[in-house]
Each structure stands twice: as C-alpha cells, then as structure tokens.
Amino acid sequence: MTWISADAEQGPDTPTALPYVVILVTVVPFTAYAALVLSLSKARLVSTRALIIAFAALMIFAVALPPRSSRDLWAYLMYGRIVAQHHASPYTHAPAEYPHDPIYPRVYQVFKNTKSVYGPAFTAVSAAGAAVCGSSQVCGRLFFQLLEALAVLGAVLIVFRSTQSWAAAAFVGLNPMVIASIVNSAHNEGLIALLVLGAGVIARARPGAAGLLVGLAMAIKINAGIALIALCIWLLIARGWRPAVTAAATAVAVLVPTYLAAGGRRVLGPLRTASMSISHHSFWHALLQGHSRSSIAHVGIAGTIALAIVLALGRARTGGPIPVFVAAFAAYIVTTPYILPWYTATLIPLLALRLRSKTTWALFAYSALLFLVYPTHASTHPGLAGHILSTMAVDVLPIVEIIIIVALIVTAWRPRRQARAALR
C-alpha cells in the first residue's frame, strides 16, 4: 500500500525473525556495504572483475531463493491471474472471489479482500506473467524476480555510464535493501526506479521523452507522480514553460489512456480506500489520537506534495534535474503517511549520481534505519532487543523524519552561492 497504499504491512500470517537476528543481519551488511562504497569512492581497492562477480552472485542468490521478507509478489501474480485466467478486472474483483485458484493460498491475508491498487501498466505486466506461467508458482515467482533484477541491472548500467564510477554502480547494485526487497521480494519499485532515473538523466536534452518515462512510471504506481512534479518544476525554471508543458503533456498522454482502458473510475476506487493508510512509524501516526484516520492521511498526502514542490523549487534554482528529483523523492519518503522500506528504492539510483553529497548519505542512513525497524511491534518482539527495535520504530524514526524535513528545507533554500558549493 502507499499513499496510495500498494503494499501490505506485515500481517499475522507472516513469520517474524528474532530481534537480535534482525539487528545482526541488517547492521552488518549495511555497514560493510557503506564501507565498500566509501572506499571505492576514494581508491580502487577491489578489482572490476570482483565487483561484477559480487553483483552477479547477489542477483543469482536473490532470484534463486523464494521471497524472504515479503510475499507481495503473490498478490502481483494473483491480480495477473484475475485478468489472464479468470477474465475479470482486479480493480473490481478481489482475490477472495477466487478461493480455488492455486495462487490464492499464498496471497497475504490483507490482500485477499483487497482490489488492486497498482497501475494499469503493471497489471498488464502481471497478466502477461500469469499467462506465460499458468498455475506454476515457481515460474510466477521467477517472472517477477527476474523482471526486477533486470530493472536493477538497467539502473546500474545507467549510473555507471553517467558517472564512470564503480562506487556509484556499487551504491545501487550491492545495496542490501535493493537485493532483499527489490530483487528477492520483487517489489515493483525497481521498475519505477529505472524509469525515474532514465527521466532524470535525459530531462535536459529530451523533455518529451522524460515525460514519457514518468508517465509509464505513474502507470505502474501513481506515487511516481512525484517525479512529474520534479521534472516540470526543473524544466520550468531551467528551460522555460514550453519544455515543461511538453513533458507534462507527454506524461498525461501516457497515463490517461492507460487508466481509461483499465476501467476509468473503477481503477481509482481501490486507491481511495488505500489512501487512508498510515504507518505506525510515521510521525503522522502520533496525530491520530482525537482525529479521524482519513483526515490525517489526506492532510499527510497534501503535506507531502507541498513539501515536494517547496524542495523542488529550492533545488531547481542552482542545479541540474537530478538534485531536484532527489529533493522531491526525499520529501516523499520522509513525509508520506505510509512508507515501506522498499519505497526508498526509487531514490537509490538518483543518490548514486551524487555520492559526494551529505544529503545522499543522510538519506541512505534513513533508508537503512527504516529497513531495520520495519515492521516492528512490541507485542511480537519481546525482550531487550525487541524493545529497542520497537522504540526506534515508534519513537525515534518519527523524530528522525522531522529532523530530515527541516534539514532538507534549509539546504534547498540556502543562499544560491552556498547551494552551488554544496552541489559540487
């Protein structure tokens, strides 16, 4: 789920690891990864061949295993089967209507009565996978895992071509969250990250094509509209109104027909329901007492969009499109009422293009912290380590989010000379 909540929080049917294990298998890989990237940015301590082998090995390992931290891909496959095998719309029919489907038992409980909140483009991809794989669970799993692995590979290649830096490439390809949540768990943020990265890289030379890529990303998940905000603001300030209108019109020309073809208003119904989701580790959750969930969620969505605009306007004064995209998506991941660790994946390739920025490492640290504490509930994690994780999730993370918001606003709107220096 997203603000347009497209993924489920961990439910009662999901096994949980011991808190000490969670801490160990998160802190050690993220620390080693950060040390490797920082060392590569200063000197080539690892050969190119070794890096390529490490990347390939991690991809193969992630695809070979069934998803460990999430089972969302079974919902993807089930929605695809509703189209391909049951000849119905996942926007008007929930998985629970097909209890005898061979994939149905693997679907999260929360998804069984939930109609699809994914965009028509991703539903088409899911239907294609379901048509190819039939009732084979292994084929269905591999379809989505390989799709996301290819998306990550594409992002790595674009980053390396743009920077000629193995440190930047490793920042994407060896990221533990990317390996675990995007490749192994096959979350579709990998596809969105690839499209948004492509849009940011070509925005200066080809605004229409950038708008096309953003439109496709929005047809996967409507949340990618954050990229359209960033793209249009940067083009408007840096290039004038014509390129901005061209990009916006191209994105809309992709988005509107896909939603109309999928059912128009019927597609939006599940999104309205999902938009009321609020994460327990979001600072918006603290405001629920005495207020309705829907009002807080909608204020949170409006606040997220407003902050994205404010930060994008500030960054667009002094730099190219990438800092503007980073600012807008940073606003999204720290301000949206509903956030999951893999939502930060869209930022990772963009941050890789700015490894020397302090903002990059602050946002990386936030993504690692989010990965560590999600999902954490005191009732499911007793003991000292469980208490630490629960406290970090419910009390610490919201404070961190507010601190990051303030820092992002200050750095985005610092005097122009200081802002230019910070971008170098």
Phi-psi region of 108 (alpha: psi -120 to 50; beta: other; left: phi over 0): beta
CA distance 414 to 282: 27
Phi-psi region of 374 (alpha: psi -120 to 50; beta: other; left: phi over 0): beta
Residue with tokens 């230019």: 420
Per-residue pLDDT at 324: 97
Contacts of 225 (CB under 8 A, 6+ apart): 218
The answer to which of 127-136, 260-269, 300-309 has the lowest mean pLDDT is 260-269
String of DSSP letters for 18-44: -HHHHHHHHHHHHHHHHHHHHHHHH--
pLDDT over 80 (residue 17) = no
The structure's pTM equals 0.91
* Distance set, CA 334 to CA 235, 285, 394 (Å): 25, 13, 14
Residue of 157, 152, 180 whose CA lies nearest to 374: 180
What percent of the chain lies above the pLDDT cut of 70? 91
The answer to which of 19-23, 46-50, 146-150 has the lowest mean pLDDT is 19-23
Using alpha carbons only, give the angle 15, 17, 18 rounded to the nearest 5 degrees.
Answer: 140
pLDDT over 50 (residue 15) = no
| Across 390-413, average pLDDT | 90
| Domains of the chain, residue spans | 7-187
pLDDT over 70 (residue 32) = yes
pLDDT over 60 (residue 353) = yes
Per-residue pLDDT at 19: 73
In the chain, % helix, strand, coil (3-state, to 5) comes to 75, 0, 25
Per-residue pLDDT at 385: 67
String of DSSP letters for 105-149: GGS-HHHHT----S-HHHHHHHHHHHHHHTT-HHHHHHHHHHHHH
pLDDT over 50 (residue 14) = no
Contacts of 177 (CB under 8 A, 6+ apart): 341, 342, 344, 345, 348, 367, 368, 371
CA distance 344 to 404: 14
Convert the pLDDT of each residue in 314-330 to its tens digit: 999 888 999 999 999 99
